[in-house]
Structures are given as C-alpha cells and as structure tokens.
Amino acid sequence: MILAPSILTADFLRLGAEVEAALTAGIRWLHLDVMDGRFVPNISFGPPVVRALRPLAARYDAILDAHLMIVEPERYLETFVAAGCERITVHIEASTHLHRTVQTIRALGARPGVALNPATPLGALEEILPEVDLVLIMTVNPGFGGQSFIPGGLDKVARLRQILRARRLEHIDIQVDGGVNPETIGLLRDAGATVAVAGAAIFGPDRGIASAIGALRAALGEQG
C-alpha cells in the first residue's frame, strides 16, 4: 500500500523540512489538499506552494498529487500541471462537465482521478470510471484535517474494489483520505485500497515524522 502524506497538517513555517523528513523516510507520493473556501469551508494553498515543493520532490523522485477541493476545477488544471503536479484529482460533485475535465488533465500530461464525498454513491462513477487512473474515497467530510474516520467508508472501498474487478479495471488505484491512522490503515488495505492519505497521523505537534511513518508501515505488517 502506498503512503501519501497530506501536507495540510504540516507546520507551514517548516514545510520544506517536514516534507523532506517524510521523503527521507521513504515517502514517494505527496498529497496536496487544495481548498477554495467555496466547495469546502476552508482555504488552504494554491500553485505557488506546489511550485515551491517541486524541486524537493524531484530530488527524491516523488510525485505531487493535487486533490482539488474547489469549484470549477477545469479553470485551474493547466496552472497546477505547470506548477509540477503529475496527478490531479477533481470532485465529481464540483465538475459539471466531468469527462471534459478528465480528458483535459490527461491531455496536459497528468494522470486524472475523481473523488467522492462520503454521501456520494458509487453509482456516480459508472460512466467516468474507464477514463480515470484513480478514485479517491473520502472517509471524512472534506475541508478539515484531523477528523475521525467515517466507518461506512470501509464498506464503500470494498464495494468499489468489487466493481473494479467485475469491470476488469483493477489497474485503477483506490485512494482513501480521512481518519487514516495505525488503527484504520490495515482495514482499508484489506478492503481494497491501494493508496492511503495520512495527515494528522504523520504531521503534527511533537510528532516524529519518521516514527509516525514507521508506525503506519508496521500496522500494515511492513518493515521500516
């Protein structure tokens, strides 16, 4: 299972140092939660932060994965790809012309993903599923870091894995975001998730980043 730390809960006064600590601990996938204060209640950051992280990520051959929790995401795709994002995920609930948005992401040279809020049914994926490389299942309501895991997300991941098998689309990653910690990460892996986004479980006051990453790997039965 791939660990993808979310920088949302990192100390932005020490962002470079905290991200590098995660990269030194073996992380090769960074998750960037972009919020606009409209689709979700909070505002986080935009392309300048992505651009600032790009050289550091490149030094470790790590990818930058933008999760756009914004309205009209199609207006900003080119800017985020130019800033250095290799993957861009948009919300089904926020994109009116989803096929066009996904096609634009791929045409720009990035890999497209779609995200579903906890109350959005898997049926919303039916038409777009063959066009994407990743589905992000939100296991909290988006907009804030450090929230508690919504238990229904586990069954949703398992049902999505069954759908992917039935449609021979098993190459599609299932990413989970929200409440991922040593108690939940193994359950999510067993349900079929392949990428785990963790924020508060990795970054936080007085938290040793390398040891926190180690605890998540240990919960998965991995070494190091």
Residue of 33, 36, 65, 173 marked catalytic: 33
177, 206, 2, 24: CA torsion to nearest 10: 140
Query: How many Å apart are CA 222 and CA 200, to the nearest integer?
Result: 20
Residue of 36, 65, 173, 177 marked catalytic: 177
Task: Enter the tokens of residue 41.
Answer: 């209640």
Burial of 131 (0-12, 13-18, 19+ CB in 10 A): middle
33 is catalytic: yes
Nearest of 90, 91, 87 to residue 62 by alpha carbon: 87
Query: How many Å apart are CA 174 and CA 183, to the nearest integer?
Result: 19
Question: For the packed helices 15-24 and 47-59, what is the interaxial angle rounded to 10 degrees?
Answer: 40
Strand 87-91 and strand 173-177: the pairing is unpaired
Task: Enter the tokens of residue 86.
Answer: 């290799």
The residues carrying an active-site annotation are 33, 177
